[in-house]
Chains A and B, each alone.
Chain A
């Protein structure tokens, strides 16, 4: 449903050029939820904007629903629905007016657009607010209306650019449920997120982006398995102590707040060795744990401390 080949985007020219996306390849199959995971500035949103025909790629190509984003932009636009980071709503418009207008622009007749708008307002829990101007909506309500607008024409493909950033846990949970429901209806979803938990929870397939390239890709389980079976966490008094401890253990140890974290295939043996090293350095740990890796570990490995692993 989505095919991305060596996609590139450079902003500006010469010395001031910023290479936001530096050759990205991925493919999303029909009915899949694909998670593009990365920190701010990794190039996730730039990728989505190019797929949504809002930015012209500097190089490479992309197809959405079989249509080329540069050659057949209108076919692409009819195929997807998008909820982007900035919701882009007119505060003077009423919620129901937005949905009815967009239903008609995508090709429904007046009565059909009305029925569809009423249906969607109910789906996102805004039935009683549809008659109010959007300017009076809370942030969470705007996000839900935005999602409804993205779904108005029953798109086969949905782009969700950080759909839950800044939302409270209840609203986040509601969006997750809606996305899972859409998946069960066969909708293909490209989701960007900074939250590992979100990718782990929703995505069938994850690509981790850093500095405009894809640093790793696979199912959440594959990525965790690729990290080695176990993770040793050592809790220390403060960050300075954690940095000293990491130095004592060696380059495999990463500082995460007041902790150091070591990934290994043979957790118990590493744990014993690390305790010895710390004792020799005169460092007293406050707590120790041995756990299976989370997507967090994969992420930190590839982005934060990436240089250690190259």
Chain B
């Protein structure tokens, strides 16, 4: 312990800043469980209902589904849990509204630290929810073809996708500064999600949906996650998934940091 009656010489390192700010946001989120629980409940609900509706139907005989519909639908619910990464933006908007965000800007903190802390918060939430969903899926009878490693790969994809989604929500949240607008912006998730081979393999989709699904990054995420569930380790699927999620995350994180910088110098 140094002397607390004299001024500190220089601010905390960037790594410490990010760690401390992330912990603060995690505390904040945990003190408002009503904000996070519904999303988890919806993911669980989808897992049960989709499996219930299609699990014993003829769909399981389609090529690409692999006999166990649970393996086919589990990645969808894991992906669905990534919408909880949107909490990152909402938490920042709450800080904008209370003025706490501005207080942080008056401190010797890197702008990137403030933004990255929010994005990490989103990613952690996604990871926690995805883990719960995955465990539930395994209990219900999912059996990843790639084994334990495959299950971990699934979580890795969820984390990466969640960061991308958190970056998107931080960028829109900071840009609009408005909780409703930030919430509304997360609805982009739905066209992204459902214009993809969600319930059926790609080949079974209508032509126009197939055309859109081919340029939708969600498609490649889903197919990468499904490959570890149904086929085992398939390099081409994994690489495509990584590239799609990587590009999405890079774009949204860059946008988030940009918006934060412009917010500080011109606001």
Contacts and interface: CB of A to CB of B under 8 A. Distances in A.
Interface of A: 52-56, 74-75, 77-78, 82, 84, 86-93, 97, 101-109, 111-113, 115-116, 119, 133, 149, 153-156
B109 interface: yes
A106 B32 contact: no
Contact of A90 (B17, B95, B267): B95
B28 A78 contact: no
B107 A90 contact: no
B7 A154 contact: yes
A115 B4 contact: yes
Closest 4 A/B residue pairs (Cβ): A88-B99, A107-B8, A111-B1, A154-B7
B57 interface: no
Interface residues of B, number: 38
A43 B266 CA distance: 17
B102 interface: yes
A197 to B, nearest CB: 27
Contacts of B98: 88-91
Given A87-B99, A88-B103, A112-B2, A107 B28 contact: no
A186 to B, nearest CB: 12
A92 B26 CA distance: 11
Contacts of A89: 98-100, 103
Given A86-B99, A88-B99, A115 B10 contact: no
B266 to A, nearest CB: 6
Given A52-B106, A86-B99, A104-B16, A92 B4 contact: no
Interface in B152-202: none
Contacts of A102: 107
A95 to B, nearest CB: 13
Contact of A92 (B2, B32, B108): B32
A5 B7 CA distance: 28
B8 A108 contact: yes
